[in-house]
Amino acid sequence: MENQTIVYMLVLGGLSDHPGLQIPLFLVFLLIYLMTLTGNLLIIFLIYTDFHLHTPMYFFLGTLACLDMSYSSVTVPRMLFDLLTDKRIISVQACITQIFFFIYFATSEIIVLALMSYDRYIAICRPLHYMQIMNWKVCVEVVSFVLVLDAVYSLIHTLFLNKLFFCKPAALQSFFCELPQLLQVSCSDIFINVLLIFFLGLLFAVGPLVVTLYPYITIISTVLKIPSKQMRSKAFSTCSSHLTVVFILYSTIIFNYFRPSANYHFTENKLTSVFYAILTPLLNPLIYSLKNQEIKTSLRRTLQKLQSLGE
C-alpha cells in the first residue's frame, strides 16, 4: 500500500488545455488570490485595531476572514504552480492531504456562518440578554470546539481514503483534488466512503444550513416591528450580507456535489469549482465591506489616522 502512492500518480485536469491561455490565467488568478488575501487581511486588521468592532459579531466575521484565506490557500497556490509549469501531477497522498484541509476549512466556514446567524438572532430578538449569552468566553469556546470537531470530521474522511487502493494512474477532471472525483478513480469498493459523504454531509452541511436559515423566520418578523427606519435598515443590511454569503456558498456546493451523475458536465464542474473554491473567499470581504456601514466607517477612521500620521 505504501508503494502505490509513489508509483501511481494523479493528473489534475487544469483550467484549460490551451497553451496560450496558461500565462493569462495564471496572472488573472494570481491577482484574484492577492485580492482575496488583501481583502480578508484588511477586515482582520480593522477588527483587531478598532475597539468599536470588538463585539461577538465581528469576532465571527474575523474568524470567517481567516477561514476564507486558509480555504483559498488550500487550492490556489497549487493551481498557480500547475498553470506556470503545466505539470499537473500530484501523488495520491498529497491529493488526500489537500482534501483533508479543503474539507476542514470549508466545513468550518459553513458552521461559522451558522454561528453568525445565531448571533444575529440573539442580537435582534433578545438584545437585553445579548452580551450575557454571547460573551467573549462563549464565542472563543464555541469557535474552538467547531475547529476541533471539523478536524475530527475531516480526519474520518482522510482515514477511509487512505484505505482505498489506486491500481493505475488516473486523471481528475478538476484543478484541485475533490473527494467525489478521487473516489471515482479508485479501484476499491467505495460504498463506505459514499455512506460517510451522505450521512456526515447531512450532519455537517445540511444541519448548519437549517441552523443558519431557521432563525431568520423570527429575525425578519422582529425587524419588521422595529419602529426606527434607520435601525430597520441597519438590521436588514447586516442580515442581507450574511444571507448573500450563505446563498453563494451553498448554491455552488449543492450544484457541484448533489447533481445526478447523468447531468454531470466537466466544464460546468470546473466553473462551479472556481466559484466556490476561489471566488467565494474573494467575494465575502467585498460583500461585508460594501454593505456593512460599521466596516466602512472603521476603514475611513483608519485612513484618516494614516493620513494624519503622514502629515
Domain, as residue range, for 262:
4-310
- pLDDT tens for residues 62-110? 999 999 999 999 999 999 998 888 778 888 999 999 999 999 999 999 9
The pLDDT assigned to 304 comes to 85
- pLDDT tens for residues 244-289? 888 888 887 777 666 655 455 666 677 778 888 888 899 888 887 7
- Sign of the torsion formed by the C-alpha atoms of 295, 299, 300 and 302: positive
Answer for the pair 256, 276: CB distance below 8 angstroms, yes or no.
yes
Q: Which three cell numbers stand for residue 139?
A: 464565542
**How far from chain centre, in Å, is Cα 4?**
32
Of 104, 105, 249, 282, the closest CA to residue 290 belongs to 282
Of 186, 175, 183, the closest CA to residue 157 belongs to 183
First to last CA, the chain: 65
- pLDDT tens for residues 168-222? 778 887 889 988 889 988 888 999 999 998 888 888 888 999 999 999 889 888 8
Domain count, the chain: 1
Burial tier of 30 (Cβ tally within 10 Å: 0-12, 13-18, 19+): middle
Phi, psi of 176 (to 5 degrees): -145, 170
DSSP single-letter state for residue 238: H
Instruction: Taking residues 36-56, report their average pLDDT.
Output: 93
- Domain with 224 in it: what CATH number? 1.20.1070.10
Q: Which three cell numbers stand for residue 210?
A: 437549517
Q: Which three cell numbers stand for residue 79?
A: 493551481
When pLDDT is cut at 50, 70 and 90, the band that residue 46 belongs to is: very high
